[in-house]
Amino acid sequence: MFKFATELAKGDTRIYWPIDQLYILKAWERAKVNPSGRDHVFHTFNNLILGAVVLAQVLLERDDSGPPESFIRDEAANGGLSPWEVLWIFTCLFHDPGYVAEMFGATFNFALGIDGVFEPDMEIPEVMIPRLQAAFDTELAAARHDLRSLFHQLSGIWTPIGSADSIWGKFDEALKLSYFKVDRRGGLHSLLSGLRLITVCKRPEGVMHPLHSSVVTQRTSIIAALCMLFHDKKCRDIFLRQEIPPISFECLPYAAVLMLVDAVQEDRRDINATEFPADGFLTAVSIDNESRLVSISVWLPAIPVRFWSYKMEEMRSVMKWINDHSDVKFVIDYEGPAGTKFV
């Protein structure tokens, strides 16, 4: 899988691809510091392939003259990836490394190389809180500004920064809540993954390819960070409470597809498993371009009952988030016992 990711990175040599972020996540999960979590590295590639299948069909007639594709388009660029492929691959590959920062206790155990010293989801020590909050206003200020301004442009909603109904302040408050949750257990991985990506791409280490472009790399990382921001339901809920409207599929398809494929997969939770059932959670995908409809079927009994409630709520959240503001519509059929079907 890592060889595959490295080969994909050759598709656009203008961009610095921080593949090492996946190695860090792999090592963190292999140490089993978060035993209840699924294998997010394996999950990343599942998402990557399913999302590519959906986007390749739905974006069949989309050109790259409009945003966000136009922000990274370069007629002189070499390689085999089109702008939509670059944006999808970059978004998907790096959407989950933030788990390492989200779970303070698990990561401290990982650093020590000792199991069970701290609870994986323990609260952050009081002495660290002021420093984390200060970083939000200093080291992360530029990344916050970039996310806000890009959202403002792609959302289709224009508000003067000083107006009473301005989304600038609301968006920044939502970022703040996502960065440092009120329960003092750390930020949400969807935002932390994006902030890390922006920071790493701004200051890449090592020798770059002769065609490397710092401008294109930065733009790609910021677009990807905005796309991955909403794939976590907890993060979506915060933005809705702050009255931040979803961006339509047409304006930011990679965000919509990431949250969709993230919700309709339930990957392995035992990293030692090398065999998988032939019939899993995801059972069918159908795309009707004429009707602008993507239909997906999943089978609830394929996963333990204790996950059903959250999984159903997650899928409902995704469908409402996308369908209320987009021309392309998504339907998820999920079946329970005795063939009970929900839409």
Whether 305 is covered by a domain: the verdict is no
Whether 322 is covered by a domain: the verdict is no
Whether 59 is covered by a domain: the verdict is yes
Q: What is the pTM of this model?
A: 0.91
End-to-end CA distance of the chain: 34
How many residues make up the chain in this entry? 343
Give Cα separations from 239 to 53, 170, 179, 264 (angstroms): 28, 8, 12, 22
Per-residue pLDDT tens, the chain, 343 aa: give them: 889 999 999 999 999 999 999 999 888 888 877 766 677 888 899 999 999 999 999 998 888 888 999 999 875 455 688 999 999 999 999 999 988 888 888 888 888 887 778 887 788 888 888 888 889 889 999 999 999 989 988 887 777 777 777 788 889 889 998 988 655 667 889 999 999 999 999 988 788 888 888 999 999 999 999 999 999 999 999 999 998 889 999 999 999 999 999 999 876 666 677 777 777 889 889 999 889 999 999 988 888 888 888 889 999 999 999 999 899 999 998 865 555 555 5
Whether 113 is covered by a domain: the verdict is yes
- Find the domain containing 162 and state its range: 2-265
Whether 312 is covered by a domain: the verdict is no
Whether 335 is covered by a domain: the verdict is no
State the DSSP H helix or E strand holding residue 40, giving kind and residue range, or none if neither.
helix 40-58
Give the closest residue to 185 by CA, choosing from 119, 123, 106: 123
Amino acid (1-letter code) at residue 186? G
Count of domains forming the chain: 1
Whether 212 is covered by a domain: the verdict is yes
